[in-house]
C-alpha cells in the first residue's frame, strides 16, 4: 500500500548527482574529491516530488520506479529556479480530471471556480457579491502590492519591485532570487498533488495557454503565506536560493501544505462532493455509458446485447 499524496513528504532537490536503481532501491550517487563516492537512498514511495537540477543524470529504471510510486519528477534550472519539464505518473482514477474538465469547458462554471480562487486568497466573505473577474484581478494586484510594501518596511528594504529575468539572473537582488527559488519548489509540490489526484496541470481557470496553468492557479493560493514572506526574510542572505529551498521545506512541516492542496482542489472543483484521494491500489478502467453512467470494465458484455 502506497502512502496517500496528502501524507507524503514534500520535495527533494538534487543536482550534480547520478540517480539510478540498484537491487535495494533508487539511490543518488554523489562523487567528490574529498569524500569519494557516497550513496544516498531515496524514500521514493513517500516523496511527492523530486526536483532534478543541472548536472543530474537518471536511469530509465529509476524513472520507472518513481512513476510507479506516483512521485513527480520535475526538471529544473540551477537552484531549482525554473521548471522545464515534468514526468506524468500513472493516474489511477479520472474522477477528478472529469470534474475539472467539465468545470473548465463551461464558461459559467469556469468563472465560478476562478472567482472562488480569488475569494480563497482574500478570505471568505471579503469579496462583494457579483464582483467581476476584471475587478478581482485588480483587487489581487493591489493586495500583492500592499503585501510587498508592508514586508519591505518590516525588513527595512528600499523600494521593492518584483523582477524575473533569467537572462540577467545573477544581477537580481536577494529577495527576487529567493522568491523565484521558493516559488519553483512550490510549483513542484502543487504539480505533484494535481497529478496524484489525476487532474490536468494544463486546464487552468485564472491562468490559460500554458501546460502549467492549473499549477499556477493553485500555487497562487499560498504564496502570500509561504514564499513571499520567506523571500523578504532572506534580503541579506549571501545565498538566498539555497536558503529559500531549505527554509521552505522546513516550514512545510508545520504548514501541512499537501493535505491542504488536496482539500482545496477538491473544494474548488466540486464543493458538494465528499473529499477523497484516489485509492493507491490498481483499479480496472470503467466503460462510459450515456444513460447509466460508468459501468465496470474487464467484463464481457456480449451477453447483454
Convert the pLDDT of each residue in 249-270 to its tens digit. Answer: 777 766 778 778 888 999 999 8
143 plus 261 within the same structural domain: yes
**Mean pLDDT, residues 140-152 taken together:** 92
Let me know if residue 298 belongs to a domain: no
Let me know if residue 303 belongs to a domain: no
46 plus 13 within the same structural domain: yes
Can you give the pLDDT at residue 8?
A: 53
Can you give the pLDDT at residue 288?
A: 67
Question: How does pLDDT run across 2-24, given as a tens digit for each residue?
Answer: 344 545 556 788 888 999 999 98
76 plus 119 within the same structural domain: no
Answer with the residue of higher pLDDT: 32 or 210: 210
Let me know if residue 159 belongs to a domain: yes
Answer with the residue of higher pLDDT: 3 or 88: 88
Boundary-marking domain end, from 86, 117, 149: 86
Task: In whole angstroms, give the CA distance from residue 289 to residue 292.
Answer: 6
Confidence of residue 277 (pLDDT cuts 50, 70, 90): very low
User: What is the tally of structural domains in the chain?
Assistant: 2
Task: In whole angstroms, give the CA distance from residue 3 to residue 192.
Answer: 13
Q: Residue 82 belongs to a domain with what CATH number?
A: 3.100.10.20
| Cα atoms found within 13 Å of the Cα of residue 250, Cβ hemisphere only | 7
End-to-end CA distance of the chain: 38
Question: How does pLDDT run across 199-256, given as a tens digit for each residue?
Answer: 899 999 999 999 899 999 999 999 999 999 999 999 999 999 889 988 887 777 667 7
54 plus 113 within the same structural domain: no
For the chain, the average pLDDT equals: 81
240 plus 194 within the same structural domain: yes
Can you give the pLDDT at residue 109?
A: 93
Confidence of residue 30 (pLDDT cuts 50, 70, 90): confident
- Dihedral of CA atoms 248, 250, 252, 254 in degrees, nearest 10, equals -140
59 plus 161 within the same structural domain: no
Question: How does pLDDT run across 294-305, given as a tens digit for each residue?
Answer: 676 656 566 655
112 plus 213 within the same structural domain: yes
For the entire predicted model, the pTM comes to: 0.71
Let me know if residue 284 belongs to a domain: no
Q: Which domain holds residue 50?
A: 5-86
**Mean pLDDT, residues 59-86 taken together:** 78
Let me know if residue 278 belongs to a domain: no
121 plus 244 within the same structural domain: yes
82 plus 99 within the same structural domain: no
Query: What residues are paired with 58 via a beta bridge?
Result: 19
Let me know if residue 105 belongs to a domain: yes
265 plus 210 within the same structural domain: yes
- Write down how long the chain is: 305
Let me know if residue 290 belongs to a domain: no
Q: 240 — phi, psi (to 5°)?
A: -65, -30
145 plus 252 within the same structural domain: yes
Q: Residue 195 belongs to a domain with what CATH number?
A: 1.20.120.920
Let me know if residue 293 belongs to a domain: no
Amino acid at each position: 500500500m502506497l502512502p496517500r499524496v496528502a501524507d507524503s513528504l514534500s520535495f527533494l532537490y538534487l543536482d550534480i548527482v547520478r540517480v539510478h536503481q540498484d537491487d535495494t532501491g533508487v539511490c543518488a550517487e554523489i562523487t567528490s574529491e574529498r569524500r569519494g563516492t557516497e550513496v544516498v537512498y531515496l524514500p521514493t514511495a513517500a516523496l511527492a516530488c523530486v526536483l532534478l537540477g543541472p548536472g543530474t543524470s537518471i536511469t530509465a529504471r529509476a524513472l520507472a520506479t518513481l512513476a510507479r510510486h506516483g512521485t513527480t519528477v520535475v526538471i529544473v534550472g540551477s537552484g531549482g529556479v525554473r521548471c522545464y519539464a515534468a514526468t506524468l505518473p500513472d493516474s489511477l482514477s479520472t474522477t477528478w480530471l472529469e470534474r475539472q474538465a467539465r468545470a473548465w469547458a463551461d464558461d459559467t462554471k469556469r468563472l465560478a471556480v476562478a472567482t472562488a480562487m480569488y475569494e480563497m486568497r482574500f478570505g471568505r466573505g471579503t469579496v462583494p457579491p457579483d464582483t467581476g473577474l476584471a475587478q478581482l484581478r485588480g483587487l489581487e494586484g493591489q493586495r500583492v502590492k500592499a503585501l510587498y510594501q508592508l514586508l519591505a518596511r518590516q525588513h527595512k528594504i528600499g523600494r521593492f519591485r518584483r523582477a524575473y529575468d533569467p537572462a540577467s539572473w545573477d544581477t537580481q537582488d536577494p529577495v527576487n532570487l529567493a522568491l523565484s527559488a521558493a516559488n519553483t519548489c512550490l510549483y513542484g509540490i502543487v504539480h505533484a498533488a494535481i497529478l496524484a489526484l489525476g487532474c490536468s496541470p494544463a486546464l487552468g481557470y485564472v491562468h490559460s495557454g500554458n501546460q502549467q496553468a492549473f499549477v499556477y492557479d493553485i500555487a497562487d493560493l499560498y504564496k502570500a503565506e509561504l514564499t513571499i514572506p520567506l523571500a523578504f526574510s532572506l534580503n541579506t542572505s549571501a545565498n538566498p536560493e539555497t536558503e529559500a529551498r531549505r527554509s521552505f521545506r522546513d516550514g512545510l512541516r508545520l504548514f501541512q501544505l499537501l493535505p491542504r492542496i488536496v482539500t482545496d482542489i477538491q473544494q474548488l472543483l466540486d464543493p458538494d462532493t465528499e473529499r477523497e484521494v484516489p485509492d493507491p491500489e490498481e483499479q480496472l478502467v470503467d466503460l462510459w455509458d450515456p444513460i447509466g453512467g460508468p459501468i465496470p470494465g474487464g467484463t464481457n458484455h456480449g451477453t447483454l446485447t
